[in-house]
Amino acid sequence: MKRALAFFALTVLFAVAGLSAQTMVPWLTRSADNARSGWNSHETMLTQASVSQKGIKRTTIIPVIGDARGMEAQPLILPDVMTAQGKRDVMVLPSMADVVRGVDAHDGTAIWQVTLGMPINGSANIDAHVINDHWGCLSTGVIDAELQRLYQICWVSPDNSGTPKTARYYMFVRKVSDGSEVVPPVLIEGTSNGQDFNKSMRKQRSSLVETNVNGVKTVFACSGTVYETAGGASGYCFAFDTFTNKVTAMLALTAGEGAGVWMAGQGAAADAGGNLYLITGNGDFDGASQWGESFLKLKYTPPSGATAATFKVVDHWTPYTDLQRTGQAQAAANAAEKLAGMNAPSEAIKPVGSGMSMPLDKAKLVPTLNERGKPMLLVYPQMAAGAWSDEDWGSAGPACIFAIGVCVASGKDGIGYPIKTAKMGGTTLADLNNPKSNCAKLASPPVWLTMSPGNVDACPADPRTLNFFPGGDTAHLHMTPVQYYDPLLKSWTIFAWGENAQLHKWKISESGRLAYVAESNEYASADVRGNSPGGMPGGFCSGASNGADPDSAILVCTIPYGDANAHVVDGRLLVYDPVHPAADGSLNILWDSQRWGVQFLFNKFDPPVIDGGQIYVPNYNGGVDVYTLAQ
């Protein structure tokens, strides 16, 4: 009973005044709430029965203005807003061209539109594959439901050149009712750890989060850097006070040696006390001021009188360093520049035609059986010798189940590490020389979350033994696992969909122990899977239910057919029953766009939104697809 109550407590963030009169609930931040659960527990129309019996259909394509690919931010929704057209449920759509639209969430009718500035021109200087026309509003903002304000960070070219070197990030504060300006754009600036935020080109992909601690509201954002191995390439987090509309604190996560925060677009999770939880990527680590490859707990103290605000790391846990993974000596300063998001070694081993590419042709091959008794070939390529060789533990956001005090952190190995939020362990460099002791600080032993490689230790004495591709393909996790309290299992569960793999369901005990439950029969990147190293980025999912009714729960996921990192590829939309297994024990599929010939271009890091009987799927066709029940 207590666990069920905790489930409703987690989702109470949806319960804004007037909810009982609404057909929609607020979707104020990425993945629904500050825990990043990805779950709407107030959905009454889309259920297992209604989807399986009636099916779903695409009814509307809402255009996102200014960029051929549309938006990278997740759509946000504030119901019951008084606009010039009367009361509307307003959906906010920020484009990569720095154009933000407010539309009717039901039919896409335009309510308002504003241009925030000149965006940055897409080029190989930002993204080697040049997927986007522009770089502007990259991250998902946050809506303050009480103030009815949107807080959105966008990359703008102040000199109108459209070049990234002179571009700056600004916080835009706009009214949800009409898009009008609350305050002029606020430049994101500051110094920390000997670093200046605006001395390098940053990549602010990680979403925003708002906290309210003792009546003090603060919006937080984090960022990485475009060239993550260049000098000054630090990750940052910063605080924006909603009363003064100022940046009040800046925290650099290294002294210029990486530790960027991107988490495939996910934002930091926040607990009721305002503590932030996030994972960093490639970079140096010393356990004091260098926080590469780390799960961090940050504490912000707002300013008080003449006392300035403070922002600091108060706890952490770290699985390894980049140098340990490659067996290198300390990397030289100002190493060769590598674009953030470039996968080394996997970018270096893209196949030409069929079969293995030359670097993989000399790889070590180890045949084995996975934990389900199926044959598995482990492919150990030669590791790239460059600095920070793309381990990127922070390739996905953590699944923080605050009701039991556990966050499950994962990354490009596809390993899930259950970490205690109250006492993470404070990993030191000495701890990393004794991995078993370091892993003993976890809530329970780590598990292979996205795939099963067989008898491979997920916490080995030598982390270089983790440098393999299962079946020759990557198993990276970019999706923040969706959280759901399963009333039949009487347990918290999470859903994770890694690259070139199936959707996996795991249950989590109150002590944080992970146990495998089921997986789907469908694979991500099915068209290139098996052609090493396969495709990216796996699946992105959101869930919904009518409270704790197990028959109402659905899970909606998008996956690519090809490699969505290097190309714009077709996508597949799937609706699952996340509770009742199919006859073969797999996750039961309720609806599949493939069966109905529904086509759309896959949006690389943007999960669906489920609200008010509608499913919103951002696409790379330049818009948002809206799906409803077919009958």
Report the pLDDT value the prediction gives residue 384, as an integer from 0 to 100.
Answer: 60
How confident is the model over 389-419, as pLDDT tens digits?
677 899 999 999 999 999 999 999 999 999 9
* Average pLDDT rounded to a whole number, residues 346-352: 31
Across the chain, mean pLDDT equals: 90
pLDDT beyond 80 at 360: no
Query: How does residue 333 score in pLDDT terms, banded at 50, 70 and 90?
Result: very low
Cis peptide bond N-terminal to 533, omega within 30:
yes
The model's pTM is 0.92
Distance of CA 343 to the CA centre of its chain: 17
Instruction: Return the higher-pLDDT residue of 361 and 174.
Output: 174
Out of 222-226, 286-290, 329-333, least confident range:
329-333
The DSSP output letter for 20 is G
Measured distance CA(308)–CA(301) in Å, rounded = 9
How confident is the model over 142-192, as pLDDT tens digits?
999 999 999 999 999 999 999 999 999 999 999 999 999 999 999 999 999
* Average pLDDT rounded to a whole number, residues 436-445: 97
Cβ atoms within 10 Å of 268's Cβ, excluding its own: 28
DSSP-derived 3-state class of residue 311: strand
Report the pLDDT value the prediction gives residue 425, as an integer from 0 to 100.
Answer: 95
CATH, residue 297: 2.130.10.10
Report the pLDDT value the prediction gives residue 367, as an integer from 0 to 100.
Answer: 87
How confident is the model over 466-478, as pLDDT tens digits?
999 998 999 999 9
Q: Percent of the chain having pLDDT more than 70?
A: 90
pLDDT beyond 70 at 20: no
Cβ atoms within 10 Å of 129's Cβ, excluding its own: 17
pLDDT beyond 50 at 346: no
* Average pLDDT rounded to a whole number, residues 240-263: 96
Out of 298-312, 338-352, 445-459, 496-510, least confident range:
338-352
pLDDT beyond 80 at 359: no
How confident is the model over 366-380, as pLDDT tens digits?
888 877 788 888 888
Query: How does residue 363 score in pLDDT terms, banded at 50, 70 and 90?
Result: confident
Joined together, the tokens standing for residue 229 give 């191995």
Measured distance CA(319)–CA(417) in Å, rounded = 9
pLDDT beyond 90 at 4: no
Extract the runs of DSSP E, i.e. beta strands, from 489-619.
491-497, 502-508, 514-523, 540-544, 554-560, 571-581, 587-592, 609-611, 614-618
Measured distance CA(3)–CA(527) in Å, rounded = 41
Report the pLDDT value the prediction gives residue 128, as an integer from 0 to 100.
Answer: 85
**CA torsion, ordered 158, 159, 163, 165, to nearest 10 deg:** -70
Query: How does residue 312 score in pLDDT terms, banded at 50, 70 and 90?
Result: very high
Query: What Rg value do the Cα atoms of the chain yield, rounded?
Result: 22
Q: Find residue 42's DSSP bridge partners.
A: 546
* Average pLDDT rounded to a whole number, residues 282-302: 96
By residue range, what is the domain housing residue 563?
2-629
Query: How does residue 45 score in pLDDT terms, banded at 50, 70 and 90?
Result: very high
* Average pLDDT rounded to a whole number, residues 352-372: 62
* Average pLDDT rounded to a whole number, residues 578-588: 97
pLDDT beyond 60 at 16: no
Report the pLDDT value the prediction gives residue 369, as an integer from 0 to 100.
Answer: 84
pLDDT beyond 80 at 624: yes
Joined together, the tokens standing for residue 555 give 């899970």
Report the pLDDT value the prediction gives residue 297, as an integer from 0 to 100.
Answer: 98
The DSSP output letter for 472 is T
Report the pLDDT value the prediction gives residue 55, as an integer from 0 to 100.
Answer: 96
Measured distance CA(6)–CA(29) in Å, rounded = 20
* Total count of domains within the chain: 1
Out of 208-212, 395-399, 446-450, 468-472, least confident range:
468-472
Under 8 Å between Cβ of 39 and 610: no
* Average pLDDT rounded to a whole number, residues 206-228: 96
Cβ neighbours of residue 48 under 8 Å, at least 6 residues apart?
551, 552, 553, 554, 577, 579, 580, 590
Report the pLDDT value the prediction gives residue 228, as an integer from 0 to 100.
Answer: 84
Query: How does residue 341 score in pLDDT terms, banded at 50, 70 and 90?
Result: low
Measured distance CA(520)–CA(578) in Å, rounded = 10
How confident is the model over 107-117, as pLDDT tens digits?
999 999 999 99
The answer for 551, left when phi > 0, alpha when psi is -120 to 50, beta otherwise, is alpha
